[in-house]
Amino acid sequence: MRIAFTALLAFAAGVLLMLVLSHRAAMPQQASDAHPTMDVATAQTGPASPSSSTPPAHANVSDKLDDGALDRWPAQGPTPEQVIYAQPRLLHDTVAKLSPRVPGKPNLYLVSFAGDGGEDVFRNEAEYAAQLFAGRFGGTVHPLVLANNPDTLEQHPLATWSNLESSLDALSTVMKPDEDILMLYLTTHGDPDHNLLVDLDPLPLDQIGAPDLADILNKHPFKWKVVVVNACYSGGFVPNLHGPGTLVLTAARTDRSSFGCGSDSDITYFGRAWLVDALNRTPDFIEAFKQATGEIGQWEQKDKLTPSEPQIDVGSGIADQLALWRKSVAPGPSVAFRPPHPVAPQKTSPADPR
């Protein structure tokens, strides 16, 4: 799926040069004018509503430029080219800030991945996952956030294929691969072909499919893994990720949408049910999944939605290793969910498909 590296560099260089020139030319006016909100319908937003039989095709880079790709890009922030070249340093600094490993017990290393930069809901969820695990489960948890969002360009490394691989490379040098647990939490849009949307207009980013994610993980020596895929059609990731030592949780079955994204939502159905509600009651990921599935089903029934049917796959040994990790965890108080930019409340759980 990934295009040739040299071809990508040549393509990206040309696109970014055009963007930088146009961005700098527009700076005086942008500094004084308010930015309109990007029309999500024209960006790479994945599946449409449940009434649509076919999701919209992802826009290519030229389409994004024509549709005002820089609408949400901060006028006083770094240029797209500067963002790309800052990634190695930003990722290195982020990994260096992780707390030291606690010896003598399993540690858990969390990588939160917010793939779609067109909606704040994914950034909210990735950041909250890091806050929840560090704040509630203590010193054996080490969270790292990768996020595509115009407001966090200098705060978090981008959620990209390359940064995901580089993050896992770095973690493999500080983790004990036979003892520690890698947890990967991915939240974004998904499509019926089981690809995850990786998008931050106007950057040309590679998408990640189910075989790609499995290949990325298989390149690293982690024996114990928890992989949470929160996206439409995410059940299609289970066959590729299934294996000993791996717990896979998905927000929907292979042919169903999941819900709760959109500009009028702060967090997805699955994110609210599993992270905010269930994991604030129990540190057991599997038990939390059972609780979350029941809660999501109630919301979907109330809103008369086609059930998403979240999926779980428990590989051999991982439940015991998670139980061993929990023995060293004294859960702290609940961690409140407070998004940086709350939206006006519409209803308890916005039912936008993902």
**In tens digits, what is the pLDDT along the chain, a chain of 354 residues?**
554 443 443 444 444 434 433 433 333 332 333 322 223 223 333 333 333 333 232 233 233 333 444 567 888 889 999 999 999 999 999 999 999 999 999 999 999 999 999 999 999 999 999 999 999 999 999 999 999 999 999 999 999 999 999 999 999 999 998 999 999 999 999 999 999 999 999 999 999 999 999 999 999 999 999 999 999 999 999 999 999 999 999 999 999 999 998 888 999 999 999 999 999 999 999 999 999 999 999 999 999 999 999 999 999 999 999 999 999 999 999 999 999 989 845 444 444 455
Tokens of 167: 């993050």
Closest CA to 71 of 174, 190, 161, 201: 201
Q: What is the C-alpha to C-alpha distance for residues 210 and 185, in angstroms, rounded to an integer?
A: 14
Buried b (16+ CB within 10 A) or exposed e, 142-169: bbbbbbbbbbbbeebbbbbbbbbebbbe
212 Cβ contact list (under 8 Å, min separation 6): 1, 2, 161
Contacts 24+ apart (CB under 8 A), 284-291: 284/322, 284/326, 285/226, 285/247, 285/249, 285/322, 286/247, 286/312, 286/314, 286/319, 286/322, 289/249
Parallel/antiparallel/unpaired status of strands 246-250 and 311-314: antiparallel
How many Å is the Cα radius of gyration of the chain? Answer: 20
Q: Which fold has domain 75-327?
A: Rossmann fold (3.40.50)
Farthest-apart Cα atoms in the chain, separation:
59
